[in-house]
């Protein structure tokens, strides 16, 4: 079950060239099990047909405040009460001004006035309009009133100019919807997550690393953010893009990860090390490419920094969770690692299995706790596993 499953979302679409992107937003919301009701303004209908949004949402599209059928149920009140979340994407300068001024002269502005649900606004307009004093003031006033914004991207606009004003990436908009609708079991908490592999240089073109994709660590960071935490993600070299609404620190080596995690952990309530930190590094990296003809076949190795052990040795009141990616004696190795590094919990999985190993989008784990209990989590998508791990950690250590 996703964060959006079973949620009722009212999506307002106003008149701008970015209105066509509402189709992708509706598709993404519906794919995750949300019920979507679209309100299309008169100006919005000049850019996209109601039938398109009706086909995608599988619900009627609402356009008229005085529609006799919907108003027989007091349609604007029914929509306002139905919503778990209200979104407006794109949100023009006009609708921002209306909401700020308390104007309710069409269906969309009336529903905004009547709803008690959180409202998410994704502005899109010409860059000079967005920078105008009136729009800037309206945005700040609405933020102060509790409206949530996904700020526009900086880029080429339909009018040919370049600057901030392009509708934010639809994935960012939908992710903020997930954040607004998720349980806030980590509200007020600061969380640090280590993710991905590290790379230990041999020379300028070669390095030691491992097969970690970083997917599980990124999923832990995203889940914590959805649950309300202030999250810092320390990520080694991966092909994954930085997750939205999370402070991400990119590092390369174990030493760099050690420094970044230690710095962020100073005020953290919980640290989760899902990173696959290299156990060894070359004693010294060659400043020049090592030539095959002159290589003597030896690369002296030394142990890398043990980040988990260092954190466990000075744990204080922090909750410390580790991961154990094992290929044999998974239980024994995981429990021994938890004890040796003074962890509160460890998440163990068998990476020799191709269906849950490196690069997989799914995982199946057992979570061991320092009090001797354990929790089995059946195979599921990594974001679902991450949510379940956080719920278990919160029940145990972060009530």
Q: Where are the alpha helices (DSSP H) in the chain?
A: 22-31, 50-57, 68-71, 75-82, 93-101, 107-114, 127-131, 133-144, 170-181, 215-226, 254-265, 307-313, 330-340, 382-397
Reduce the DSSP state of residue 397 to 3 states and report it: helix
292 vs 242: CA distance, rounded Å:
37
Cα 4 from chain centre: 14
Q: Which of 23, 30, 159, 394 is catalytic?
A: 159
- Looking at residue 197, the DSSP 8-state letter turns out to be B
Backbone angles phi, psi at 199, to 5 degrees: -125, 125
Backbone angles phi, psi at 328, to 5 degrees: -155, 155
- Looking at residue 90, the DSSP 8-state letter turns out to be E
23 is catalytic: no
Q: How many CA atoms lie within 13 A of 28 on its CB side?
A: 17
Which residues face 78 on adjacent strands?
none
18 vs 333: CA distance, rounded Å:
53
314 vs 266: CA distance, rounded Å:
10
Q: What is the DSSP annotation of 30-56?
A: HHTT-EEEEEE-TTGGGTS-HHHHHHH
127 vs 279: CA distance, rounded Å:
49
Over the Cα atoms of the chain, what is R_g? 25
C-alpha closest to that of 349 among 240, 339, 337:
337
Are the C-beta atoms of 311 and 318 separated by less than 8 Å? yes
Are the C-beta atoms of 269 and 191 separated by less than 8 Å? yes
49 vs 45: CA distance, rounded Å:
6
Q: Which residues are catalytic?
A: 159
């Amino acid at each position: 079950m996703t964060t959006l499953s079973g949620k009722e979302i009212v999506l307002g679409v106003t008149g701008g060239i970015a209105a066509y992107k509402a189709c992708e937003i509706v598709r993404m919301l519906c794919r995750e099990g949300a019920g979507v009701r679209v309100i299309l303004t008169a100006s919005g209908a000049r850019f996209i047909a109601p039938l398109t949004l009706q086909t995608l949402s599988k619900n009627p599209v609402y356009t008229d405040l005085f529609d006799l059928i919907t108003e027989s149920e007091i349609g604007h009140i029914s929509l306002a009460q139905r919503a778990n979340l209200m979104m407006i994407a794109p949100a023009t300068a006009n609708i921002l001004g209306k909401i700020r001024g308390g104007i309710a002269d069409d269906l969309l502005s009336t529903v905004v006035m009547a709803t008690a649900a959180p409202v998410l606004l994704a502005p899109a307009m010409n860059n000079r309009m967005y920078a105008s004093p009136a729009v800037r003031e309206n945005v700040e006033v609405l933020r102060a009133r509790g409206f949530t914004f996904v700020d526009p991207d900086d880029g080429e606009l339909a009018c040919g100019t370049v600057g901030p004003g392009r509708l934010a990436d639809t994935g960012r908009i939908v992710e903020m919807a997930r954040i607004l609708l998720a349980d806030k079991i980590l509200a007020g908490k600061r969380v640090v997550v280590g993710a991905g592999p590290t790379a230990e240089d041999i020379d300028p073109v070669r390095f030691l690393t491992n097969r970690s994709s970083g997917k599980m660590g990124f999923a832990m960071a995203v889940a914590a953010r959805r649950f309300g935490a202030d999250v810092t993600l320390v990520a080694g070299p991966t092909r994954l893009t930085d997750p939205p609404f999370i402070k991400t620190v990119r590092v390369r080596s174990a030493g760099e990860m050690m420094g970044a995690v230690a710095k962020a952990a100073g005020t953290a309530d919980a640290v989760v090390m899902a990173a696959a930190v290299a156990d060894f590094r070359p004693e010294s990296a060659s400043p020049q490419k090592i030539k095959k003809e002159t290589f003597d076949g030896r690369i002296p190795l030394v142990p890398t920094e043990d980040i988990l052990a260092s954190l466990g040795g000075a744990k204080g009141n922090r909750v410390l969770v580790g991961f154990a990616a094992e290929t044999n004696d998974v239980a024994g190795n995981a429990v021994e690692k938890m004890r040796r590094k003074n962890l509160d919990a460890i998440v163990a999985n068998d990476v020799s299995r191709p269906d849950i190993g490196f690069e997989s989008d799914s995982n199946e784990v057992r979570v061991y706790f320092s009090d001797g209990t354990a929790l089995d989590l059946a195979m599921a998508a990594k974001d679902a596993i991450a949510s379940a791990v956080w719920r278990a950690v919160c029940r145990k250590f972060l009530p």
